[in-house]
Amino acid sequence: MAQVQRMSRLMIKTLRDDPADAETLNHKLLVRAGYVRRTAAGIWSWLPLGKKVLENVSRVVREEMDAIGGQEVLLPALLPKEPYEASGRYDEYGDLLFRLQDRKGSDYLLGPTHEEIFTQVVKDMCSSYKDLPVILYQIQTKYRDEARPRAGVLRGREFQMKDSYSFDTTDEGLAESYRLHRGAYIRIFERLGLDHRIVSAVSGAMGGSASEEFLAPAPAGEDTFVDCPNCDYAANTEAVTFVATPGDASGVAPAEEMDTPDTPTIETLADFLGVPASATLKNLLVKVDGEIVAVGVPGDREVDLGKLGEHLAPAEVELVTAEDFVGRPDLVRGYVGPQGLEKVRYIADPRVAAGTSWITGANKEGVHARNVVCGRDFEVDEHLDVVVVEAGDPCPRCGTGLQVDRAIEIGHIFQLGRKYADIFALDVLGQQGKPVRVTMGSYGIGVSRAVAALAEQTADDKGLCWPREIAPADVHVVAAGKALQTELALGVSEKLAAAGVRVIVDDRAGVSPGVKFTDAELIGVPKILVAGRRSAEGVLELKDRRTGEREELTVEDAVARLTAQG
Ligand code: ATP
Ligand code: MG
């Protein structure tokens, strides 16, 4: 038997107006509908309805993790610093880490994620290959002192995460644990009703499926990704690669210089010549491990320094400063061209392909050159995809113009390999009687963030609108106000609960029917059952929260209908 939650007793206060500090839909609605309350920046209290939704998400996560053989544990959130010092993350995390001391002055931290501690637990508990593979998970409070806690529970400084870790003796084993998680995540997000895309978390250059992110498209999201409207291609903006087509320069006249006074920027140059920026070649100078390198991209495109950095890692990429031009007459600021740049390594975007012709700097103050052809007048040392992706860029799979959209990262799966096993010397005795180093995966789902993502994706102009599996109840029964209506509403609520249907009933006295309907829509339970006008005949009105479809039903039919939904 399910429970009846009576609004007259439920601790809830709905608000008509958005909280002043709220910018995103989920933040506004979860506060207004009485699911959460802000305690401090990025720190939230979950009220009765919010706690139910959070529990429902956790239940789905738990069921699917159990289904792949995951074993649930609960490790501490308050952690000694030593394991994090051993891994180097005590320093690497910097300001993101909440640090504290105990009464004796020993250092502690509040766990941001738990690779170190899980590795130690497995080292403690498992000694033979027979103990592996093992998948351990927890649903736990995590702490990160985020620079910009925002968007309500979407980015908290205290938040709920499901984190799991797999331990295997072989690379094939790790691949299988990863595959199991990937499948479980797809089932979890499908059951939650979250529209999502799986994108590679590493750049195309590194490739592979060693790390993937699950993104829930939503305007409030902080990640941008590209999505093909034609095929199923989706990728992180940094991971998109452009497929180059060579140009035909057979008819292009020889390169020639032209006076272009006061045109040190692409904008001034395009203006002066009356050509589109895309006809010009922009040459950005950067320092790679201290050495000056030129990066050529079409004049209408921006260089993505993050992408460039990833391509060149572990080398350090920095922008040049005025000092770097001292003693370098070959580098004429604002008028750099790849032709005649002998002492400088030249990296170019694939769009600067062999046979393409450009207007570019002539390496003399106030002078540019035209008909400068790639492969004829200059050579590219290395082609790297380094421009910021833009909407309309061709899909690498089918060529259709890509869309650039925003999304919320709701999950991340990652083949860690032996990084932490090496740090903590995590070995088990192998089949041959020799120690074998263990290989690991780490997998996260933002449980509280998933609530925010669901709210973002499903809400409409009236309020929240949960999928049934996640909603705080299956049906919201509204008693219009008269004693007879309240009696009918409570009666049908008891019958529904007895049949296993989860019910909220608005039995509040002295609250107008209008307010009750508005609240029901704001709270967002999928079905609304009203004891109104025809209560004397025992007839109720059943309304679908999403479609607004209504029908009149007797008590028996209403119970049958709502039970049958299963
Ligand atoms: P982000 O880039 O959004 O900060 P992350 O890359 O730091 O995320 P992970 O360390 O991979 O995230 O954590 C696993 C999951 O935990 C993320 O996919 C996300 O769903 C969730 N998560 C991370 N940080 C937060 C936060 N501050 N508030 C709520 N959920 C979070
Ligand atoms: Mg983060």
Write down which residue in 354, 383, 412 finishes a domain.
Answer: 383
Pocket test for ligand 1, best of 412, 413, 416 (most atoms within 8 A of CB): 412
Same domain, 296 and 353: yes
Q: Whose CA is nearest to atom 26 of ligand 1?
A: 155
Asked whether residue 466 is domain-assigned, the answer is: no
358 close to ligand 1 (CB < 6 Angstrom): no
C-alpha R_g of the chain: 30
Give the per-residue pLDDT at 202: 66
Asked whether residue 558 is domain-assigned, the answer is: yes
Query: Residue 308 belongs to a domain with what CATH number?
Result: 3.90.960.10
Write down which residue in 352, 383, 414 finishes a domain.
Answer: 383
Query: Residue 529 belongs to a domain with what CATH number?
Result: 3.40.50.800
Q: Whose CA is nearest to atom 8 of ligand 1?
A: 409
Which ligand lies nearest to the CA atom of residue 157 in the structure?
A: 1
Q: Which atom of ligand 1 is nearest to the CA of 144?
A: 27
* Amino acid identity for residue 141 in this structure: T
407 close to ligand 1 (CB < 6 Angstrom): no
Same domain, 228 and 158: yes
Are 274 and 259 in contact by the 8 Å Cβ rule? The answer is no
Asked whether residue 434 is domain-assigned, the answer is: yes
Asked whether residue 561 is domain-assigned, the answer is: yes
Asked whether residue 392 is domain-assigned, the answer is: no
Asked whether residue 538 is domain-assigned, the answer is: yes
| Residue 362, domain extent | 256-383
- Burial of 547 per CB tally in 10 Å (0-12, 13-18, 19+): exposed
Which ligand lies nearest to the CA atom of residue 188 in the structure?
A: 1
159 half-sphere exposure, CB direction, 13 A CA radius:
29
Same domain, 377 and 486: no
Cα 201 to ligand 2 centroid, rounded to whole Å: 13
Give the span between the Cα atoms of 463 and 460, in whole angstroms: 6
Give the per-residue pLDDT at 566: 56
Are 371 and 252 in contact by the 8 Å Cβ rule? The answer is yes
516 close to ligand 1 (CB < 6 Angstrom): no
Same domain, 539 and 512: yes
How many domains does the chain fold into? 3
- Indicate the SS3 state at residue 194: coil
221 close to ligand 1 (CB < 6 Angstrom): no
Block residue for tokens 């004796």: 104
Asked whether residue 126 is domain-assigned, the answer is: yes
Q: Which long-range contacts (CB under 8 A, 24 or more apart) does 195-202 make?
A: 195/457, 196/410, 197/225, 197/227, 197/234, 197/407, 198/234, 199/225, 199/234, 199/235, 199/236, 199/239, 200/235, 200/236, 200/239, 201/236, 201/412, 201/414, 202/239
Same domain, 120 and 221: yes
C-alpha dist (Å) from residue 404 to 219, 227, 298, 330, 400: 11, 6, 20, 39, 13
Write down which residue in 395, 423, 456 finishes a domain.
Answer: 456
Give the span between the Cα atoms of 149 and 37, in whole angstroms: 15
Give the span between the Cα atoms of 68 and 45, in whole angstroms: 32
The Cβ of residue 517 has, within 10 Å, a number of other Cβ atoms equal to 19
Q: Whose CA is nearest to atom 18 of ligand 1?
A: 411
Pocket test for ligand 1, best of 140, 148, 161, 445 (most atoms within 8 A of CB): 161
Give the span between the Cα atoms of 184 and 444, in whole angstroms: 12
Return left, alpha or beta for 255; rule: phi > 0 is left, psi -120 to 50 is alpha, else beta: beta
Return left, alpha or beta for 487; rule: phi > 0 is left, psi -120 to 50 is alpha, else beta: alpha
Cα 447 to ligand 2 centroid, rounded to whole Å: 14
Query: Residue 49 belongs to a domain with what CATH number?
Result: 3.30.930.10
Same domain, 373 and 330: yes
Cα 142 to ligand 2 centroid, rounded to whole Å: 11
Same domain, 164 and 297: no
Q: Which atom of ligand 1 is nearest to the CA of 213?
A: 18
- Burial of 14 per CB tally in 10 Å (0-12, 13-18, 19+): middle
DSSP labels for 309-368? HHHHTTS-EEE--GGGGTT-TT--TT---STT-TTSEEEE-TTS-TT-EEEEEEEETTEE
Task: Find, among 193, 203, 212, the residue nearest to 464 by Cα.
Answer: 193
Q: Whose CA is nearest to atom 11 of ligand 1?
A: 412
Same domain, 141 and 262: no
Q: Are strands 107-110 and 78-80 parallel, antiparallel or unpaired?
A: antiparallel
Q: Whose CA is nearest to atom 12 of ligand 1?
A: 412
43 bridge partner residues: 40
Give the span between the Cα atoms of 364 and 166, in whole angstroms: 59
User: If you count them, how many residues does the chain have?
Assistant: 566
**Which residues, 6 or more positions from 59, have their beta carbon under 8 angstroms from its beta carbon?**
none
Report how far Cα 29 is from the mean position of its chain's Cα atoms. Answer: 21
Cite the beta strand spans of 169-236 per DSSP E.
197-200, 211-217, 223-227, 234-236
Cα 203 to ligand 1 centroid, rounded to whole Å: 19
Are 259 and 266 in contact by the 8 Å Cβ rule? The answer is no
Pocket test for ligand 1, best of 46, 142, 146, 409 (most atoms within 8 A of CB): 409
**Which residues, 6 or more positions from 240, have their beta carbon under 8 angstroms from its beta carbon?**
204, 226, 385, 389, 393, 396, 402
Give the span between the Cα atoms of 201 and 99, in whole angstroms: 29
Give the span between the Cα atoms of 163 and 155, in whole angstroms: 17
Cα 409 to ligand 1 centroid, rounded to whole Å: 7
Q: Are strands 71-72 and 357-364 parallel, antiparallel or unpaired?
A: unpaired
Same domain, 420 and 450: yes
42 close to ligand 1 (CB < 6 Angstrom): no
Same domain, 121 and 151: yes
Pocket test for ligand 1, best of 164, 449, 456 (most atoms within 8 A of CB): 449
Same domain, 232 and 302: no
204 close to ligand 1 (CB < 6 Angstrom): no
Q: What is the pLDDT along the chain (566 residues), one digit of tens a residue?
A: 778 999 999 998 899 988 888 889 999 999 999 999 999 999 999 999 999 999 999 999 999 999 999 999 999 999 999 999 999 999 999 999 999 999 999 999 999 999 999 999 999 999 999 999 999 999 999 999 999 887 899 999 999 999 999 999 999 999 999 999 999 999 999 999 999 999 987 644 444 458 899 999 999 998 899 999 999 888 888 777 777 788 888 889 999 999 999 999 999 999 999 999 999 999 999 999 989 999 999 999 999 888 888 888 888 899 998 888 888 888 898 899 999 888 899 999 999 999 999 999 999 999 999 999 999 999 999 999 889 989 999 998 899 999 999 999 999 999 999 999 999 999 999 999 999 999 999 999 999 999 999 999 999 999 999 999 999 999 999 999 899 999 999 999 999 999 999 999 999 999 999 999 999 999 999 999 999 999 999 999 999 999 999 999 999 999 999 998 65
Task: Find, among 279, 293, 278, 283, the residue nearest to 324 by Cα.
Answer: 293
Cα 513 to ligand 1 centroid, rounded to whole Å: 42
Give the span between the Cα atoms of 99 and 101, in whole angstroms: 7
C-alpha dist (Å) from residue 368 to 223, 263, 278: 39, 9, 15
Same domain, 212 and 315: no
113 close to ligand 1 (CB < 6 Angstrom): yes
112 close to ligand 1 (CB < 6 Angstrom): no
Q: Which atom of ligand 1 is nearest to the CA of 412?
A: 18
Task: Find, among 387, 242, 382, the residue nearest to 312 by Cα.
Answer: 382
Q: Which atom of ligand 1 is nearest to the CA of 408?
A: 3
114 close to ligand 1 (CB < 6 Angstrom): no
Asked whether residue 15 is domain-assigned, the answer is: no
Give the per-residue pLDDT at 532: 94
